[in-house]
Structure 1
Amino acid sequence: MQAAALLHLLQFASPALPIGAYSYSQGLEAALERGLVHDAATARDWIVRHLHEVVACWEAPVCWRLMQAYTRRDWLDVALWSERFIASRDSAEFRAETIQMGFSLSRLVAELGFVDDEMLAHLQAQSEVALPTAYACAVAALGIPHDAALLAMLFAWAENQVLVCVKSVPLGQVAGQRLLLSLRAELEAAARHAQCVPDEEMSNWAPGLSLLSAQHEVQYSRLYRS
């Protein structure tokens, strides 16, 4: 990867990006509340299962398809996968999460001014922008290699999950970094699967996670918005 593309990727995959990712746990806080996650081992089990059963089978493949569609300027495919992703958010919190961060990232992309008029017009024409859609637009506009962008998206997701565990299990900082380091092979496998899974085998079927997300909406004490 060229240095410019790498630097762009580091910027847009950074947890410091002002889109609010740190305020969401994606159901993990509800699992912590119910004791399903309570130490480093159960934290790793949760993250790995969520990664392989949900993210690698749906969110990452959708992001992969959106990056390709933006690069081809295939606006019908962009609209198709954007609509499918939003429709797949099966709780109010999960839907609000992707819409809020997608809106924030699309606004940031527009304000930074590196997206051409045609691409920006199609992004802004969508009534609701999902996070993977805005991310894919940035990746295509900046010429970031898709395989690297996919790995960065997966790492950013895992890093956020680990940070939730560091704050809420709680885990120590070193234990958190040890956990994140142990996920390398899992993230690589998830990226490989996302790039080759056919459309008919994609799925985000995880009823337990959906129930936890719905329960989180009425959880008495919480730090996170999902």
Structure 2
Amino acid sequence: MKCATIIMSMTDSGSSTALLRLMTWLSPAFPVGAFSYSHGIERAVDDGLIHDSMSLQNWLNDLLQYGSVWNDAVLFAAGWRGVATDADVNAIALLGEAMAGSKERHMETMLQGNAFLQAIGHWGATSQDLAGDAPYPVAVAVVAARNDIALEPALAAYLHAVLSNLIQAAVRLVPLGQSHGVAIMASMEKPILAIAARASRSSLDDLGSAAIMSDIMAMQHETQYSRVFRS
């Protein structure tokens, strides 16, 4: 009984540490500059494609199920498994960079990834697996794996942070009330968990996007006359 209690306490302690680290690393306060990116949503609002809470929720679901956020989830899982199996994750990082479909999407993922790797040193974590720059999902995945944080919860936390940031951008742009943003975030819980479970079993062969309008909005944002966000 005593041995079982000790093992349970160690497991609980490890889970609590993982939870605290994920909450810190993926919080809006972590210095990756996530608040300055809208992932093309600013242009979609300007063009009237996103104009209320329902159109925003549909947009986010498409990104999560069929678009860039799904691809990020696949890249995250591949990066995490690369560390777990002592494989070279640099090829995954290069692939993730190459999949950025526009100048601003490239800036968004690479600058956040590099900022994350720089800030993570306070936990004694290093980017020893990465020879150079890394896109955001791969950077977070590598650090999570090195800190013995399980793939599926780490991936769910990452997806939650990404979508939460996009919702907050839309709240300012549409505009929507904070209560609308919270309601959308609540409605995204089951889809996030489902995609995290699906992506954790994925391979790089599962990469692919059908959210073409989101990519077009990201490209057109580059030439938008008046902008609040960097992407």
Q: TM-score, normalised by structure 1?
A: 0.90
Gaps of 5+ in 1: none
Partner residue of 1:121 out of 112, 128, 137? 128
| Counterpart Cα distance in 2 of 1:199 and 1:142 | 23
Amino acid at match of 1:28: I
Superposed displacement of residue 217, structure 1? 0.2
| Counterpart Cα distance in 2 of 1:158 and 1:206 | 15
Superposed displacement of residue 113, structure 1? 4.9
SS of aligned partner of 1:121: coil
Amino acid at match of 1:121: Q
Deviations 1:21-43 (A, max 9, x none): 01101111110000000011111
Tell me, yes or no, if the aligned pair for 2:109 and 2:135 is still in contact at 8 Å. yes
Deviations 1:138-186 (A, max 9, x none): 2022221111100001100110111012111111111110111011111
Q: Percent same amino acid among aligned pairs?
A: 29
Partner residue of 2:175 out of 170, 178, 192? 170
Q: Which of the pair has more CA radius of gyration? A: 2
Partner residue of 1:17 out of 23, 26, 30? 30
SS of aligned partner of 2:59: helix
SS of aligned partner of 1:190: helix
Matched, 1:26 2:26: no
Q: TM-score, normalised by structure 2?
A: 0.88
Aligned residues: 218
Superposed displacement of residue 84, structure 1? 0.7
Tell me, yes or no, if the aligned pair for 1:58 and 1:202 is still in contact at 8 Å. yes
Alignment of 1:127-146 (within 5 A): 128-146=133-151
Partner residue of 1:91 out of 95, 102, 106? 102
Partner residue of 1:3 out of 5, 8, 16? 16
Tell me, yes or no, if the aligned pair for 1:165 and 1:171 is still in contact at 8 Å. yes
Superposed displacement of residue 120, structure 1? 3.2
Worse overlay, 205-214 or 60-69 = 205-214
Amino acid at match of 1:114: G
Stretches of 4+ aligned residues off by more than 3 angstroms = 119-122
| Counterpart Cα distance in 1 of 2:120 and 2:85 | 19
Tell me, yes or no, if the aligned pair for 2:76 and 2:141 is still in contact at 8 Å. yes
Superposed displacement of residue 73, structure 1? 2.5
Superposed displacement of residue 58, structure 1? 1.3
Give the aligned partner of residue 66 of structure 1. 79
SS of aligned partner of 1:120: coil
Worse overlay, 32-41 or 184-193 = 184-193
Tell me, yes or no, if the aligned pair for 1:56 and 1:190 is still in contact at 8 Å. no
Give the aligned partner of residue 225 of structure 2. 220
Label 1:4 to 1:97 Cα distance change in 2 as closer, same or farther (>3 A): same
Partner residue of 1:211 out of 211, 216, 219? 216
